[in-house]
Amino acid sequence: MPRKAQTYLCGVPREQCCGTLTPTNHGLKGAAGLRVHTSPRAAFECMKSYLLGSGYHQIGMREFSPPDGGPVRVLTRPSHFGGRLRMGKEGSRMQPLEHNGIIFAC
């Protein structure tokens, strides 16, 4: 049986995200017209670009230091990054693959 297509949320505000615009399930709070990515690596790269564009300095492979000297931000590994979405029953809207976490925008 073939796997269903999945997409990934990166957590970057919609205006700065480089992902593809897609319709989402109405149950996703504040998620009307999210931008999604085809892989966890693409979602990670989008977040990385956003942080660097926001003035963060990369100090490690996944570690970013804020411009104001606050706590260091560590991202999840690229292979596990992003909130997974799947196609809904109607096949026209994306919805969460799992309901065990919350995805926050920066």
* Residue 104 in domain: no
Q: Please provide the distance, in angstroms rounded to a whole number, between the alpha carbons at the two ends of the chain.
A: 37
Q: Is residue 102 domain-resident?
A: no
Cβ-based neighbours of 73, under 8 Å, separated by 6 or more: 51, 56, 63, 64, 65, 66
Collect the ranges in the chain with pLDDT lower than 50.
1-2, 99-106
pTM to 2 decimals?
A: 0.74
Residue at 27 is within a domain:
yes
What are the backbone dihedrals phi and psi of residue 48, each rounded to the nearest 5 degrees, phi first? -60, -45
For 73, the domain range is: 6-96
Contact indicator for 85, 36 with CB cutoff of 8 Å: yes
pLDDT tens by residue, 13-35: 888 888 888 766 555 555 556 78
Residue 33 lies in a domain: yes
